[in-house]
Amino acid sequence: MLEAIILTIITAATPLLLAATGELVVEKSGVLNLGVEGMMVMGAVAGFAVTISTGSPLLGIVGGAVAGMLVSLIFAFVTLTLVANQVASGLALTLFGLGLSGLMGESFVGQPGLKLQSLDVPGLTDLPFVGKILFGQDILVYLSFAAVFGVSWFLNRTRAGLILRAVGDNHTSAHALGYSVVGVRYLAVAFGGAMAGLGGAYLSVAYTPLWVENMTAGRGWIALALVVFASWIPWRAAVGAYLFGAVTVLQFHAQAFGVGFPSQFLAMLPYLATVVVLVAISGNRRATLFNTPSSLGKSFVPDR
Amino acid sequence: MMRLELVKRSEKSRLMSVLSPVVAVALTVVFAGIVFAAQGHNPLTGIWYFFLEPITSLWGVEQLITKATPLVIIALGLSVCYLSNNWNIGAEGQLTIGAIVGSIPPILFPDFVNPVVLPLMLLMAMAGGALYALIPAKLKTVFGTNEILTSLMLVYCSNLFLDWMVRGPWRSPQGYNFPITIDFHEWAVLNAVDVGGIYLNLSAPIALLLVIVLAVVMRSTLKGFEIRVLGQSPRAGSFAGFSTRRMTAFAFALSGALAGLAGMMVVMSEIGKLQPVISPGYGFTAIIVAFLGRLNPIGILIAGLVIASSYLGGEAIQTSLQMSSKLATVIQGVLLFFVLAADTLILYKVRLVTGREGESAHA
């Protein structure tokens, strides 16, 4: 029973963690991309489309990442090259992504998809309790953890990460030091787009191998909230994603056991939990402000 | 290598302030033409069916006004939010809660049938929407919580709440188990009257009135000045004695009230009862309307009509060209991108420079 619950928590948390890790890097570079939901849903539809047309879920998740990255580049062009308002452009990206994915996915509605294979190591996967949890996951689950460690290492231990943080904290100084503020931000936004695309592809290729319109159901927004919750520290995003996964799963189990409570109220739990967590975290100003990239959401035009 | 370079203008370009939405619409039409061509249709035929054909009939104009009305009303409220730097993106939820609260009289008191019901419902809807919008506003002013995320999360909650209401406590006993409430009585619906061949109800004149009121308020009252100052420079505003906190509450309450009003009027004129879905995303589309209208009341009126026509266009290409009506949402999204991008022209001149030129400029 406990094993089953942990397994479902992992599947609920992985798309959130993938998208949140990507957005964390974007925001560390000083860009607020509110289009995570749009990039995720594009990743979901592209992931599904590539999977059923090639028969390969692996190519599907690559397709999801590419689709997420491509739409993120529209956002990058509008906000970085043309210095449009980032908040409004992020909303535009979400509305655009939801519309385009609905259009692209129309013919896939009701079609069965293919499920991403899970790892199967003879001997290890069969171990009692931990076997399936540690050695029986699909590649995206391992990738989500690799991303957390990778991003953590990149931001704190590499020169490129230092430059990225400098760009996010003070773009004028970074520019004066000769770094390409806009270039760094383009790369960060593209990375965030690819990660959100992977998170979306996880939904349509691994979580439920189906395409349903708007299937991200606000997960992109929850991923954005997770970045705030994590106060821009990768491992905290992982903790947050798993807490949210637990809330989601709790809700499903409560529904399955027929707790005498309307299902709609249980379905509200992840959204209400997001609000509660955001309030709790914003109460703690010092921890938040210390890590907030100072240039977050501000446009940069180099003066030549 | 070629790249774009922005050169700051010494002052805002007045010409571009007016032209930028036009440029955006023109680029969107071109984009739509490319999409039609890619789908194997004559681009001009597609553009005709999508943008123009729907409004060639009186019935089309009637539909256009009906669809534009809620968009304009909601976008007016959102423009006050965005101008004062309050990012309310939960209008869809405020619309829903407003419609639920406003529906209390005809559903819970079906015997209370008199002319008072209609204004009472509208007022209750406004109060409901405003109170729901005050949740993210208060969380922002008291705890400093990001209002973008909280206002959006509340949309999901309100939709689930409506779903529960119409399937649970408010389900009509005569509804054959469908998730609908009882039909509203005659004093709880907006009836359309014939205006020169077009059937309109009270909501369109109310929208027009709100446009005029807000235009006057923004142009020639202290409140309008306060909204703009606090949006552009909260510090300067505080020296003038304006309070950012009060403005946040005001802007959210106003936009929530207008979203609730719009939702109630949609229910009263088009549906006549509550059901699980009462809005085709008016609250989100109104965000596009607000920006396309450059956060200006008159601009929003025009933008509302433009965006409403894209809904009709979506239906038109479905029947005439057998294309998906979902193309309309894509075109709306693209339009918003173009609007935001074209706004750059107001503050900057855009130059295309080749790599060589760029280098010599640095040398």
Confidence of residue B358 (pLDDT cuts 50, 70, 90): very low
Residues of chain B with C-beta less than 8 angstroms from the C-beta of A88: 82, 287, 291, 336, 340
Tokens 């959102």 locate to B78
Query: For B128-143, what is the mean pLDDT?
Result: 95
> How far away is chain B from the Cα of A100, in angstroms, using its nearest Cα?
5
Q: From CA B35, how far away is CA B313, in angstroms rounded?
A: 14
Parallel, antiparallel or unpaired: strands B348-354 and B198-200: unpaired
Mutation site, A42, A182, A219, A278, interface B, largest B CB count within 10 A: A278
Of the candidates B4, B154, B340, which has its C-beta nearest A84's C-beta? Answer: B340
> How far away is chain B from the Cα of A103, in angstroms, using its nearest Cα?
5
Confidence of residue B323 (pLDDT cuts 50, 70, 90): confident
**Residue A288 has what pLDDT?**
64
Q: Is CATH 3.30.1490 the classification given to domain A2-291?
A: no
**pLDDT, tens digit, for every residue of B11-50?**
777 787 788 888 898 999 999 999 888 888 888 888 888 8
**Residue A48 has what pLDDT?**
96
**Cβ pair A40, A199 in contact under 8 A:** yes
**Residue A287 has what pLDDT?**
63
Confidence of residue B8 (pLDDT cuts 50, 70, 90): confident
**CA distances (Å), A61 to each of A106, A209, B104, in order?**
20, 12, 48
**Cβ pair B344, A86 in contact under 8 A:** no
Of the candidates B87, B139, B157, which has its C-beta nearest A87's C-beta? Answer: B87
**Cβ pair A210, A56 in contact under 8 A:** no
Confidence of residue B362 (pLDDT cuts 50, 70, 90): very low
Residue of B nearest to A300 (CA): B6
Q: Is CATH 1.10.3470 the classification given to domain B52-323?
A: yes
- Of B138, B139, B133, residue with least CA distance to B154: B133
Residues of chain A with C-beta less than 8 angstroms from the C-beta of B156: 217-218, 268, 271
Q: From CA B279, how far away is CA B180, in angstroms rounded?
A: 15
For the record, the structure tokens of A242 come out as: 């798993």
* 3-class DSSP assignment, residue B3: strand
Residue of B nearest to A273 (CA): B153
**CA distances (Å), A252 to each of A8, A263, B164, B276, in order?**
10, 9, 17, 21
Cα torsion B212, B215, B216, B218 to 10°: value is: 150
CB count within 10 Å of CB A170 equals 17
**pLDDT, tens digit, for every residue of A8-25?**
899 999 999 999 999 999
Query: For B126-146, what is the mean pLDDT?
Result: 94
Residue contact B6–A83, C-beta within 8 A: yes
Query: For A205-233, what is the mean pLDDT?
Result: 90
Query: For A32-40, what is the mean pLDDT?
Result: 95
DSSP class of A203 = I
Max CA pair span of chain B: 83
> How far away is chain A from the Cα of B324, in angstroms, using its nearest Cα?
7
Residues of chain A with C-beta less than 8 angstroms from the C-beta of B150: 275, 278-279
Percent of chain A exceeding pLDDT 90 equals 53
**Residue B360 has what pLDDT?**
41
The verdict on A95 touching B (C-beta cutoff 8 Å) is yes
The burial class, CB within 10 Å (0-12 / 13-18 / 19+), for A222 is buried
Residues of chain B with C-beta less than 8 angstroms from the C-beta of A71: none
Q: From CA A85, how far away is CA B157, in angstroms rounded?
A: 28
**Residue B361 has what pLDDT?**
42
Of the candidates A34, A106, A217, which has its C-beta nearest B148's C-beta? Answer: A34
Of the candidates B168, B328, B332, which has its C-beta nearest A262's C-beta? Answer: B168
Q: From CA A178, how far away is CA A169, in angstroms rounded?
A: 15
Q: What rounded mean pLDDT belongs to chain A? A: 89
- Alpha-helical runs (H) found in chain A: 2-28, 36-54, 57-76, 86-104, 130-135, 139-157, 159-169, 171-176, 181-202, 219-229, 234-256, 263-283, 285-291
Domain residue ranges of chain A, discontinuous segments joined by +: 2-291
Confidence of residue A257 (pLDDT cuts 50, 70, 90): confident
Residue contact B341–A78, C-beta within 8 A: yes
**Residue B1 has what pLDDT?**
59
> Which residues are within 8 A (CB) of B163 and not within 5 positions of it... i.e. 6 or more apart?
A264, B179, B276
The answer for A 130-189 residues in CB contact with B (under 8 A) is: none
Percent of chain A exceeding pLDDT 70 equals 96
Residue contact A82–B6, C-beta within 8 A: yes
Confidence of residue B359 (pLDDT cuts 50, 70, 90): very low
Residue contact A95–B350, C-beta within 8 A: no
Residues of chain A with C-beta less than 8 angstroms from the C-beta of B141: none
Mutation site, B9, B150, B285, B345, interface A, largest A CB count within 10 A: B150
State the distance between the two ends of chain A, measured CA to CA, in whole angstroms: 63
Domain residue ranges of chain B, discontinuous segments joined by +: 52-323
* Ranges A120-129, A198-207, A275-284, most confident: A198-207
The verdict on A85 touching B (C-beta cutoff 8 Å) is yes
More reliable by pLDDT, A138 or B93: B93
Residue contact B154–A275, C-beta within 8 A: yes
Tokens 């594009």 locate to A42
> Which residues are within 8 A (CB) of B11 and not within 5 positions of it... i.e. 6 or more apart?
none
Q: From CA B246, how far away is CA B254, in angstroms rounded?
A: 12
Residue contact B337–A74, C-beta within 8 A: yes
Residue of A nearest to B144 (CA): A282
**pLDDT, tens digit, for every residue of A149-206?**
999 999 999 999 999 999 998 898 899 898 999 999 999 999 999 999 999 999 999 9
> How far away is chain A from the Cα of B326, in angstroms, using its nearest Cα?
5
> Which residues are within 8 A (CB) of B330 and not within 5 positions of it... i.e. 6 or more apart?
A96, A99, A100, A103, B35
Residues of chain A with C-beta less than 8 angstroms from the C-beta of B326: 99, 102-103, 106
